[in-house]
Structure 1
Amino acid sequence: MSSADTAAPALKEIFNRKRLQHIADETLAVYPAFAHKRFLKLASAGLDELSLMQRLARVSESLHATLPADFPTALGILQDLAPRLNSGFVTLCLPHYVANYGLEHFDLSMQALKYFTCFGSAEFAIRHFLVLDFERALAQMTEWAHDDNEHVRRLASEGSRPRLPWSFRLLRMQAEPMLAWPILDALKADPSLYVRKSVANHLNDISKDHPALLLAQLESWTLDDPRTQWITRHALRSLIKKGDRRALALLGAGEPAQVDLLALRVTPEVLQLGQSMTLSFNLKSTSDKPQRLVVDYAIDYVRAGGKTGYKVFKLKTLDLAPGALVVLARSQQIRELTTRKHYYGWHAVHVLVNGERLGSGGFELVP
């Protein structure tokens, strides 16, 4: 069996013809007058050439063409449809509908997004309302940060991210990140990991444009709560990878590590695409005091024209007792990604501890 036979289906196949039939059937069940055959014809036209997000948009547009033109009426049908859909991602076509056709019904649409986000997420759709009326939408989202439902609280944080992936940037939020601080501050010790991940990602977005501002705000937080500690640690990941001393200090690792790097190995020394590189090494404390260590590693990827690109990866944060030794290892598959094209040649691998490079090895990538 070839690798093509065993490869996972493309993400866009979430919206395949079988799923379109499911959407049509369930819409017909809640709205007997639904023109389901026309919906299927519209939604499936040229389907194979469409990307995931284009297919999502196509479903929304096809629903608009086959549901009542009156937005409140159509919205009621979609609200009945939401709990019947068999995929959380597929439900994103519903907030997409609201963003496309409900901008003139602000209050009704905002309540609909609050409802729909509980089935999947309305993080992309809510941004259109921030563009339409920033203050009004942000005031509503700030209220949602105190909602009993974790999905609604997450929407407050995720939807207001300056640099949300797969969406356009919120330029005003990017320029003035403190506008969302009441949301982030309200969620800094949220009991839901789902929410905490969003808060950390929002803060990490801020770190890319306003690192000093973010650090000052995080330094004002009390880090006694382990949930706030978790958010802070993950929020600082981009700055930690850069070796930022203030960021490291917030994690208790602001001082250079007093350790010896021992038994550093990168195996195998020669590998091909699809194979894995293993980095292993020991760290032995040379201090008479306990130390917090933030341990990362970096790979100098060969680029076109013989240049290299430096990429840092998280490995482990640990507390090392005086004189103690810790054994660390990490394997990583070297494979093609949509975000990284590999070139043959020598790839240096570096061990980083508390922002400092302690030693290096490497591997040769060959055809």
Structure 2
Amino acid sequence: MRFLSLPDELLIEILSRLPAQAIASSLSSCRALHAQSAAVWQAACSRRWPQWAAIAAEPGAQWRRQYELLSLREAEAGCLPSVAAIRKVQKSVTERHRSILTEWLCEVSFDWDLDSTVVFKAVAYLDHYLSTHAVEQLSRFQLLGLACLRAAMGDARKPAALDEHAKKMDPANFAYISDDTYTADEVEAQTQVIVGLVPEHLKRSPNTKMFLRSFWYRATLKEVVHADEMHIYTLASFFVQLALLDTACSGYAPSLLAAAALSVSLEAYGKQPWPVVLQQFGSYLPAELEPVKRRLADLQATQAAEQLRPIWRGLHEQHSYPEYEAEWRRAILIFSCASRAHLAPPPSGCDGTAAQGSSAVPSSGSAGTDSPAAPAPQDTATPMLVD
């Protein structure tokens, strides 16, 4: 009772210094403190992340949500592989080999109709392994990729589809797609190595596609975009998957990559690249995204992705949004070949395709493929609206 008799300013100051769980417990267990909830979370945010006060203080800020988002960003850093370590540890496996393997894993995920987040989890497991264990024989590298995918599928399984999932998880299926280069027993053994190696915090950590879904949900909720403007979300999804092929991108926080990819896509279609409502939700300033956006633009200009691009193009050539025909044609152009040409935002009053001087979609024989300098890579549950 003496504690509750303290001045409000002192109560807020004391509570804001507690760990998050203790703050939440105190505020929920005492009706007298509940009125101070927003002020306590605001003080906690300002104390722990003073540089974010200006963003979170915008109208409509939800301070507890802001605290949770900033805490999640801190946790991401502990899940990132060391790009420098990968480059130092691996002697037989080059970055080109990794790019080929990750592109193939993306193909498998499409062929097997897996949830699109699974391949991101699999590549995170792969990079964790590569940063700590040398692959002595290049001939075993594909086996490692298969094991990472299988482990990721196991961690992402949903109870409602256990029977179907069990069939896909059969190690014989993985041996088969390797053209029987490996046996089912080898797949099972390597999977167990990965399962034992990957730390629990990495298994639970949200990946880039999860963050992108969450940012898109926020963008539609706050009317940054209309829900039917799926060309914007789809282009951002392409960019984050293209980034899987790039070793350097594995050193960037998943939330940062997702935010940058959505920003590139918004800008490409003449939208405000990173409005305040997304700054609040994502806790990134526009300036922080710019180096990552340049990296993604460079990948679009240089990454042939000769297997991945045709998949994306084939999936989205026949869409169900006739009111956005020009915008979808432009997305298909970006999917179809490695080029920077169609990323520039359209001139005011022009649609994206007209701005490029052509509305034709390249023939299927076009160079490239279909279906996404960043800050130095670090060494160190969101709504699911769309796929």
- Structure 2 length-normalised TM: 0.23
More strand by share: 1
- Which structure has more RCO (C-alpha within 8 Å, separation ≥ 6)? 2
- Structure 1 length-normalised TM: 0.24
Structure whose CA Rg is larger: 1
